[in-house]
Structure 1
Amino acid sequence: MMHQLRIYEIFEHNKAAFHARFRDHAVRIMKRHSFNILIMWEARTRDRTEFVYLLEWPDEAALTERWASFMADQEWSGIKERTAAEHGKLAGEIQSRVLRRTDYSLQLCST
């Protein structure tokens, strides 16, 4: 198993629209493409608000294939288009990090 951390810059003026789109549409469509979302957070730094979530993947090939199928999903494309037309740009910078567990992390975390 491997994990992926996704960090989206979101904007205060349309944050509710971003969350509604993710909650009501992205999560459902991601599940259809076999995404395994473990947890979601909102974080605030001095300069910006972020939406952060953690995904679990069986391997890197699954990550690549499933993201490609999600990004090509016609329903998702339409929803993004409609919500952007209604609320403006909902996300700024998007960061993605693939996390690989160290061989000693389970030892340290279980003590």
Structure 2
Amino acid sequence: MIYELRVYQALPGQMAKLQTRFKDLLPPIWKKHGIHAIGFWTTLVGESSNQLTYILQWESLADLETTWAAFMNDPAWHKVRDEGERDGPIVANISSEILMPTAYSALK
């Protein structure tokens, strides 16, 4: 297994829209593609309280690449994105890191 750590910096005033996207709109699309989220977090104390962080679990880099490409090309995702950003973008920045668990990690 590998894990993808994704951090979304919401534009000012857009965190509620971003959270609605991930809480209500994306789960059925992700389920269709076999995308498995480990968890979601907001920043309580840190550099920015306007961040949404989540971790995805993947079988391999190949799994990540093919599954993510299929999701990104899905018309259902395009509809969610376009409707959510009808009045303008809601995300300022997205960062992504691919993580490999150590031998002593609770997640393997």
- Count the aligned residue pairs: 105
Q: 2:15: which partner in 1?
A: 15
RMSD of aligned residue pairs (Cα, Å): 1.6
Report the identity percentage: 27
Higher helix share: 1
Give deviations 1:47-98, integer Å, cap 9, x for gaps.
5511000111111111111100010010110121111114x21111111110
AA matched with 1:31: K
Give deviations 1:5-61, integer Å, cap 9, x for gaps.
011101341211111122111122111110110110011534551100011111111
Residue segments in structure 1 that go unaligned for 5+ positions in a row:
none
Residue segments in structure 2 that go unaligned for 5+ positions in a row:
none
Q: 2:29: which partner in 1?
A: 29
Kindly name which structure, 1 or 2, has the bigger radius of gyration based on alpha carbons. Answer: 1
Q: 1:70: which partner in 2?
A: 71
Query: For residues 97 and 46 of structure 1, what CA distance do their matches in structure 2 show?
Result: 18
Q: Which runs of 4+ in 1 moved over 3 A?
A: 44-48
Partners of 1:10 and 1:48 within 8 A in 2: no
